[in-house]
Amino acid sequence: MTNTPDLGPVPVRIAVEPEHVRRLVEEQFPQWAELPVVPVTKGGWDNWTFHLGATMVVRLPSAPEYAEAVEKEHRWLPVLAPQLPLPIPVPLAKGKPSRDYPHPWSIYQWREGVTAAAGRVADPVRFAVDLAGFLAALRHVDASGGPQPGVHNWFRGGTLRTYDKLTQRALTELDGHVDVALAREIWTVALSSRWDKVDRWFHGDVAEGNLLLNDGQLSAVIDFGTCGVGDPACDLAVAWTLLTPEGRQAFRERLVVDDATWARGRGWALWKTLATCLYNYEDPEDAEDFAKASGVLGQIFAEYSA
């Protein structure tokens, strides 16, 4: 679900072709002008992503809303990287807008690995514990001066009430397709849970497309465009969207998550999954995506009702 737009108006994405990227690199970083530029397969929604040679990647925000994250990433990723137990992207260079492309953009080192689809994980419990260990380390980084929730990260780390109106609309439209009564109850519990107001670092989009595996084990965490400081409950959504029930329990125990934070994390998972259902429930061509999202809803419902 990492490539599904947030529930609400979908940003208007601009098209970026390899020739645009080649010109940008030639003009601004001539030392790399001879390197081939090749689109990355399934490069994500927020950014157009291209290989630059064998060891680098070019990331260009696909809409103005996503360009908000570029300055943040260049400021903070070099600070976070040495304090974390797994590799994360660290920018090598920052590009400027030009006649070919209207936003700031970035060049990063390419991280090898495959995305963490459930069938690729060698040991689901170890994967969950390793992921929890990474998030625990991230939360312990000094949050002073860090980026507060805002447009740059779609208000991750803030209150779930930001998405209440949109979630209610999704529940109205999905009535008859999902268990709306149970979903409303879970959402209400999430909204009523209290945060201790202590700012902590969070990633903001912990999903299979942003978790890399090597030999079936978690090897890197990428795409920090939605990172920030605030309530880290948004990072718990992965417990329902990707982890097994056994992994979910191990994940919670490793992070030492209290009931209120867990409820908010469940709310983030519910909101994102309802968004996916809403975008896919009417079109027969999207039946597979709707079925996958329905499966995640089943995990949310079963865990809540246990």
- Check whether residue 105 and residue 154 sit in a common domain: no
Q: Which residues contact 129 (CB under 8 A, 6 or more apart)?
A: 250, 251, 254
Which residues 6+ apart lie within 8 Å of 120 measured at CB? 114, 213, 216
Q: Is the domain of 105 the same as that of 29?
A: yes
Q: Are strands 56-61 and 105-109 parallel, antiparallel or unpaired?
A: antiparallel
Whether residues 186 and 301 share a domain: the answer is: yes
Q: Looking at residue 3, what is its pLDDT?
A: 40
Tokens 């970035």, residue? Answer: 106
Name the DSSP letter for residue 207.
Answer: S
pLDDT of res. 284: 83
**pLDDT at res. 92:** 98
3-state secondary structure of 242: coil
Model pTM score: 0.94
Considering the domain architecture, whether residues 206 and 289 belong to the same structural domain is answered as: yes
Number of domains in the chain: 2
In a domain, 67, yes or no: yes
What is the rounded distance in angstroms from the CA atom of residue 246 to the CA atom of residue 135? Answer: 18
Task: Provide the pLDDT for residue 285.
Answer: 85
In a domain, 9, yes or no: no
**What pLDDT sits at residue 42?**
85
Residue 47 and residue 136 in one domain = no
The answer on 222 and 123 residing in a single domain is yes
Instruction: Return per-residue pLDDT of the chain as tens, 306 residues.
Output: 334 445 456 789 999 999 999 999 999 999 999 999 999 998 888 999 999 999 999 999 999 999 999 999 999 999 999 999 999 999 999 999 999 899 999 999 999 999 999 899 999 999 999 999 999 999 999 999 999 999 999 999 999 999 999 999 999 999 999 999 999 999 999 999 999 999 999 999 999 999 999 999 999 999 999 999 999 999 999 999 999 999 999 999 999 999 999 999 999 999 999 999 998 998 888 899 999 999 999 999 999 999
In terms of domains, do 269 and 161 share one?
A: yes
**pLDDT for res 1:** 36
pLDDT of residue 6: 54
131 and 35, same structural domain?
no
Contact by Cβ (8 Å): 170, 278: yes
Q: Is there a single domain that holds both residue 72 and residue 210? A: no
Residues 56, 119, single domain; the answer is no
**Residue 140 sits in a domain of what CATH number?**
3.90.1200.10
The DSSP output letter for 150 is S
Tell me, yes or no, whether 143 and 282 share the same domain.
Answer: yes
**Parent domain of 94:** 18-109
The CATH number assigned to the domain holding 88 equals 3.30.200.20
pLDDT tens digits for range 244-282: 999 999 999 999 999 999 999 999 999 999 999 998 998
| Inside any domain, residue 262 | yes
Last residue of a domain, one of 85, 109, 133: 109
Upper half-sphere CA count for residue 124 (Cβ side, 13 Å)? 14
The pLDDT value given to residue 241: 97
